[in-house]
Amino acid sequence: MVFETRGKNIDQYPEIQINGIKIQRVYKFKYLGHILTSGLRDDDDIERERRVLAMRANMVARRFARCSSKVKITLFGAYCTSFYTCSLWAQYSKKSYSALRVQYNNAFRMLIGLPRRCSASGMFAQNRVDCFYATMSKRCASLVRRVRAIANSIVSMIASRLDCAYVGHCCSISHGIKRQ
């Protein structure tokens, strides 16, 4: 994979061979469960996570349909809020992020048996469950906290800066600011 800078496509790149075998260029690659793209955009990984969320929510709703709301809320927290590698998302479209948020809200509505048009903020507050933005903010804050605790002084110093781009990104998520 050749990583491209913003707005610049690389048409020609050196041919790479290992033991005389040419390495084929790819534009998308799944590494440790996270989808990397040559343009460094996270839309494909967000779509992967949206589909996984839909699958998990349907499975929980089907298997535990007769359980109490309390049990369903616990299962929602365990199965539908573990957005793997979401704290790494930094470059994505408002459309893909919004689609994941809508899927999250709909998954909770379906699980609890609420009507499709009910207020998302109301249903989360009433059931004392974190909304989508709170869940994402906690994931980002957790990563920042862990990186700041690393023994490597250079990494820790960069992560501790208030003007760190990633810290700014985390703050924008916590306030529900929409990305372009």
Burial class (CB in 10 A: 0-12, 13-18, 19+), 166: middle
- Spell out the residues 6+ positions from residue 49 whose beta carbon is closer than 8 angstroms to its own: 83, 84, 86, 100
Kindly give the pairing relationship between strand 34-37 and strand 28-31. Answer: antiparallel
Q: What is the mean pLDDT of the chain?
A: 85
pLDDT of res. 38: 84
- Which amino acid does the sequence have at 147? V
Q: How confident is the model at residue 162 (pLDDT cuts 50, 70, 90)?
A: low
pLDDT of res. 179: 47
Does the structure show a pLDDT above 70 at 176?
no
Helix (H, G, I), strand (E, B) or coil at 41: coil
pLDDT of res. 78: 93
Residue 80 CA to residue 132 CA, distance in Å, equals 11
What is the reported pTM? 0.80
pLDDT of res. 132: 93
Model pLDDT for residues 26-44, shown as the tens digit of each residue: 889 999 988 998 888 899 9
Does the structure show a pLDDT above 50 at 180?
no
Give the HSE-up count for residue 49: Cα atoms under 13 Å, Cβ half-sphere: 28
Q: Percent of the chain at pLDDT above 90?
A: 43
Q: How many CB atoms sit inside 10 A of residue 86's CB? A: 20
Give the HSE-up count for residue 140: Cα atoms under 13 Å, Cβ half-sphere: 20
E-only strand ranges, 13-168: 17-18, 21-22, 28-31, 34-37
pLDDT of res. 174: 56
Q: Which residue would you say has higher pLDDT here, 99 or 13?
A: 99
Residue 157 is inside which H or E element, if any?
Answer: helix 153-160
Model pLDDT for residues 59-113, shown as the tens digit of each residue: 999 999 999 999 999 999 999 998 888 888 888 999 999 999 999 999 999 999 8
Q: How confident is the model at residue 160 (pLDDT cuts 50, 70, 90)?
A: confident
pLDDT of res. 178: 46
* R_g over Cα of the chain: 20
The partner residues of 36 in beta bridges, in order of sequence, read 29
Mean pLDDT check: name the lowest of 21-30, 34-43, 118-127, 142-151. 142-151
Residue 126 CA to residue 120 CA, distance in Å, equals 10
Alpha helices in 23-68 (DSSP H): 43-63
Q: Are 57 and 110 in contact (CB under 8 A)?
A: yes
